[in-house]
Structure 1
Amino acid sequence: MKTIKVGGVPEHFNFPWHVCIEEEKFRDKGINVIWKDFPGGTGAMNNALRSGEIDVAVILTEGIIKDIIAGNQSRILQTYIGSPLIWGIHVAAGSEYNSIGELKGTKAAISRYGSGSHLMAFVNAERHKWDIKKDLHFEVVNDIDGAVKALKENKAQYFMWEHFTTKPLVDNRTFRLVADCPTPWPCFVIAASEHALKYNPERLKTMLEVLNEETFYFKTKPDLVNILSDRYNQKPEDIKKWLDVTTWSQEQISEADVESAQNKLLELELIPKKLKYPQLVSDL
């Protein structure tokens, strides 16, 4: 049986993958999908795609586009989450900071350079008309546990991470939510290394067919709110709010969305150039 190694964040967005694996839906079609969690997020997955540690990543749109332009030999297979990602901007519960304006010039905790927490700090700064070269500073913390430590010790003053994933840390008063910052494009895509595209195209097509059938009907699953609440340690009311604003996609990312992401990355001087649409996406 042929194997595909897939990486993604250990968050509720990726539950459909686990359903397909646990219910052997991939295996029934002759493929063995092995899942690996990446708590470090997009930066860590880009490194794993580059090294061949994984064949496929469920990854932030802006992060994979930036890394392909930087030489990552991978391509986008399709959009996975068609709605924006809601990034919460968090401070330590006892922090003196109470607004976005007060955070200007302070240090953001980021999982790593090139990660979503890094790139979205630029988007947030630009929205609030900060001087990006003077007002943005970073502390690399690797993952959410590192961010908790950094904010507690005041090595960084704020941390941007997905709103609902971070909500339990707001509820238990580890963090305090200051504001939200949605992405201006569909947030997650599925990307594959060019090696996997060259040697396993039919296997990848089958994998997407199985996954897309699962995500198409995902919100109709009986008792979904309670299942997700139990599995991801979230309050049912928070899961319901998250499901209301989240949509799964079964389509390739549009040229307009790729153009929008590249324009913003170029404007923020996070990429040196733009690539043409076919250089970033696969026609698998």
Structure 2
Amino acid sequence: MATDTQPLRIGFVPEHFSTPLHFAQKHFGLSATLIPFPSGTGHMITAIRAGEIDVGIGLTEAWVAGLGKEDASSDGGYRIVGTYVETPLCWAISTGAKRPDITSVSSLKGTKVGISRIGSGSQVMSYVLADEQGWLSSSSASPYSDFVILQNFANLRNAVNSGEADFFMWEHFTSKRYYDSGEIRRVGEIYTPWSSWKIVASTALVPSATDKKKPADPRVLDLFGKLDQAIGYFDKHHDEAVAYISTALDYSEEDAREWLKTVRFSAKTEGVDLKVIQSCIGILRKAGVLTEGKGFQAEDMLVTGLGAQFPE
């Protein structure tokens, strides 16, 4: 685990949403080692519990599911400490380019779902989709025949074309260029019923269930301040954001500009709305991802008021 004299190790998904994090380093002096996790939030959960990263910026539903499935007596390894993106995420539902048997979302019941990792957003949202479609029943039968673990986006695309998986779910704009090229085919979409990205910190850096009075590591507060500055800059410099997204990342300029119309980052990243986490838990329980009475409750997943420890 890094000491408070070393740069934070921050896990992130190397997609368009990472642009303010890039700006925080480029323009506002954020001292951090940025570690990409192209396989997504599920991989970051494993890494933060293993002490390989200190902070993670990832999908709300995956962070909540990770703590909601934990044994209540366990530390859990991390706490949700901040809000990165206020808007919901549009998950595109994709299949292979030549899959005439899959004509619509209704064709997906009982098929093989490609996911990045167990507990990832790609798996969690497949249950939310099943709930929305009415495929969940009181029996233990899964709405799908299998979950095929494929680690990353490239493997997911290959799998739906080879037949290893029948469909997968991934963020809309990340998927779009592969629809445009004809590599994969769009079946439908589903939005998260919650704000889409949260910030978590290792329990080594913030108060935990075993040490609720532990002061927060000041580097976490510095991260919030630098991100807030970077998000303000991002909001006023869309042309620079588009230039970065369309050169350093895997997006066209047109798609980057369209994405900008759909996203709203949090003006104040420190803090989490308890109601958002409660809503997420409720839907994940309904979808069969979490079980009532097991794992952390919403209040115990969060650490709030960190800034009060360091008054200006």
CA distance in 2, matches of 1:100, 1:85: 18
Q: How far has the Cα of 1:199 moved from its partner?
A: 6.9
CA distance in 1, matches of 2:87, 2:28: 28
CA contact (8 A) 2:89 2:191 kept: yes
Deviates more, 1:221-230 or 1:247-256: 221-230
- Aligned: 1:128 with 2:133: yes
For residue 68 of structure 1, what is the amino acid of its counterpart? L
User: Can you give the 5+ residue segments of structure 1 that lack an aligned partner in the other structure?
Assistant: 27-31
Match of 1:75 among 73, 76, 79: 79
1:206-254, CA deviations, whole angstroms, 9 ceiling, x for partnerless residues?
1111111111331211523333222223222221221111110124221
Q: How far has the Cα of 1:188 moved from its partner?
A: 0.6
CA distance in 2, matches of 1:227, 1:204: 26
CA RMSD of aligned residues (A): 1.7
- Aligned: 1:229 with 2:256: no
Q: How far has the Cα of 1:111 moved from its partner?
A: 0.5
1:1-284, aligned counterparts within 5 Å? 1-23=5-27, 25-26=29-30, 32-69=31-68, 70=70, 71=74, 72-96=76-100, 97-131=102-136, 133-136=141-144, 137-197=146-206, 198=214, 201-221=217-237, 223=239, 224-249=241-266, 250-251=268-269, 252-273=271-292, 275-283=296-304, 284=306
Give the secondary-structure state (helix, strand or coil) at the position aligned to 2:88: coil
Give the secondary-structure state (helix, strand or coil) at the position aligned to 1:196: coil
Deviates more, 1:199-208 or 1:149-158: 199-208
CA distance in 2, matches of 1:199, 1:149: 46
CA distance in 2, matches of 1:270, 1:135: 12
Give the secondary-structure state (helix, strand or coil) at the position aligned to 2:204: helix
Overall identity of the aligned pairs, in %: 31
CA distance in 2, matches of 1:135, 1:272: 17
CA contact (8 A) 1:55 1:192 kept: yes
Give the secondary-structure state (helix, strand or coil) at the position aligned to 1:139: strand
Give the secondary-structure state (helix, strand or coil) at the position aligned to 2:7: strand
1:112-134, CA deviations, whole angstroms, 9 ceiling, x for partnerless residues?
11000000000011111113634
Q: How far has the Cα of 1:24 moved from its partner?
A: 5.6
Number of residues of Structure 1 aligned to a counterpart in Structure 2? 279
Residue aligning to 1:29: none
CA distance in 2, matches of 1:230, 1:112: 28
Tell me the TM-score normalised to structure 2 length: 0.85
CA contact (8 A) 2:274 2:299 kept: no
CA distance in 2, matches of 1:268, 1:86: 18
For residue 269 of structure 1, what is the amino acid of its counterpart? G
Q: Which has more helix, going by share of residues?
A: 1
Evaluate the alpha carbon distance shift between residue 22 and residue 226 of structure 1 in structure 2; reply closer, same or farther with a 3 A threshold: closer
CA contact (8 A) 1:258 1:277 kept: yes
Deviates more, 1:128-137 or 1:170-179: 128-137
For residue 56 of structure 1, what is the amino acid of its counterpart? V
CA contact (8 A) 1:216 1:248 kept: no
